[in-house]
Amino acid sequence: MLPLIFMLATIAPPTPAAPADGTYTYVSSLNGAPIGKTAITVRRDAAGIVLSEQGSGTFNGQQGVVKDTLTLETSQLSPTAYNVAANVDGRPVSMGLSFKGADAYQTGDLQKTYDLVENAKHFVVLDFGPFSGWFALPSQMQAWNGAPAVAIVPAMQYGITIAPDAALPADHPKTVPSADTALNVTSPMPFTLWYDPKTMVVDLLAFPTQGITVTRQP
């Protein structure tokens, strides 16, 4: 009996599902008109799962380019580091996030400390502009069984608790595969992520009240 107990004690928990290593390209649109393009490269190394992004676009008459890196630890997909360097109409922007327990620390051009609140036990990064955090969200929510998380928006200097809504959107978009699953969040701003439940790759992000979509390109 003792050997069995020792064996059970040493069995590692399953690794959460996340997109395979590779590069994934997305085009963002406003009311159907393209406004930007970004590419996220996924790789696994000693630091964890690293999402490296390069993108560019135009919004409200401003042109910008962005490079960011989001690192997730492999056992639960919690973020361990986030760094972004952007240039908006010639103005450089630099920000970073580090995480320690129930706190997250923002450094760079904007500085702030964020705390886990209510019953949230994890942070997610849903930045304004970069797509890497949105790309990771379905995998994170699955790993955490849909538990609430504090979403940090570094560009806006705020964090707010989000949780998936069990109700599915009314319509399955014709532009995404029929097998895709929806991650639906209704508060504070409604959005839906359509993703492949086998690969965990996002095919579409839609903000229905804003007219904004981000669509994966072949």
Band (4; pLDDT cuts 50, 70, 90):
low
Q: By CB neighbour count within 10 A (0-12 exposed, 13-18 middle, 19+ buried), where does 209 fall? A: exposed
pLDDT value at position 13?
Answer: 62
Indicate whether 207 belongs to any domain.
Answer: no
188 assigned to some structural domain:
no
Question: Is 5 inside a domain boundary?
Answer: no
Q: Tell me if 152 is assigned to some domain.
A: yes
Which residues face 171 on adjacent strands? none
Task: Give the CA angle between residues 32, 34, 35 to the nearest 5°.
Answer: 125
Distance CA 118, CA 58 (A): 37
CB proximity list for 180: less than 8 A, separation 6 or greater: 172, 194, 195, 196, 197, 203, 204
pLDDT of residue 8: 45
Q: Count CB-CB contacts under 10 A for residue 33.
A: 7
Q: Is the pLDDT of residue 181 over 90?
A: yes
CA distances from 204 to 41, 134, 135 (A): 17, 10, 10
Domain count, the chain: 1
pLDDT at 32: 94
Is the model's pLDDT at 212 over the cut of 50?
yes
Is 208 inside any structural domain? no
What is the model's pLDDT at position 14? 74
Determine the structural domain holding residue 164 and report its residue range: 18-172
More confident residue, 157 or 218: 157
pTM of the predicted model, to two decimals?
0.92
Q: Which tens digits make up the pLDDT trace of 30-75?
A: 999 999 999 999 999 999 999 999 999 997 788 999 999 999 999 9
CA distance linking residue 66 with residue 75, whole number of Å: 28
